[in-house]
Copies of this chain bind each other. A is one copy, B any other.
């Protein structure tokens, strides 16, 4: 496949290297194709990669991969010219410039709403990310399902982490209650995979770690 990658940073560079190794032709679209960094990347990948402007990359390709910082994404798309009929693989996350949270589509959560209703209580969000079968039997073979826990009160969160661990989950502290904005979409993702995508209820998320 002829693949344009917009951006040649850590994500774009890694993807380009891997796909070039599989025999695809890679064209990095970057603001300055002759930069030392881009040239070093091309040398590392070898014969299946080149670099040029965003428009050149676009016209070369069957597929465009967006590996730009979010704040550069709109201008990169505009600079690429006519994109009708193109396949675009969007690898970006719409982060705020300080990477603290998503900048769009992200306004509140059920957990925060509960905290407003339950005046003075210490609300912890968890056990919303999987189905009841998995709550009763969270270990798949020898691998525990992950269950993220978030809340603003450390004592309440410690209690919840203990209770979640007792169920057999890999209980992971996700941060403050605002992280419910991430954990509720994760619950919704599970529900959608189970029902809309037809994977059935015997699926569960895990968090893998390595050194």
| Residues on A facing B (Cβ under 8 Å) | 1, 3, 9-11, 13-15, 17-19, 22, 62-67, 70, 73-74, 77-78, 80, 82-95, 99, 101-102, 104-111, 113-114, 117-128, 131-133, 135-136, 140-141, 143, 145-146, 148, 153, 155-156, 159-160, 163, 166-167, 172-175, 179-189, 191-193, 195-197, 199, 202-211
Copies assembled: 2
Set of chain B residues within 8 Å of A143, measured between Cβ atoms:
208
Set of chain B residues within 8 Å of A155, measured between Cβ atoms:
87
Inter-subunit contact B132/A113 (CB<8 Å): no
Set of chain B residues within 8 Å of A87, measured between Cβ atoms:
121-122, 124, 153, 155-156, 159-160
Smallest CB–CB gap between A41 and chain B, Å? 12
Smallest CB–CB gap between A42 and chain B, Å? 17
Label chain A's interface by main secondary structure: mixed
Set of chain B residues within 8 Å of A125, measured between Cβ atoms:
89-90
Cα(A189)–Cα(B179), bound, Å: 8
Contact status of A90 and B105, CB under 8 A, knowing A83-B119, A163-B1, A207-B205: no
Set of chain B residues within 8 Å of A118, measured between Cβ atoms:
77, 80, 83, 86, 88
Set of chain B residues within 8 Å of A99, measured between Cβ atoms:
191, 195
Question: A1-B159, A10-B132 provided; 17 other pairs, C-beta below 8 A?
Answer: A19-B167, A63-B163, A86-B120, A88-B123, A90-B124, A90-B128, A91-B127, A92-B110, A99-B191, A104-B107, A104-B110, A105-B106, A185-B186, A199-B209, A204-B208, A206-B207, A206-B208
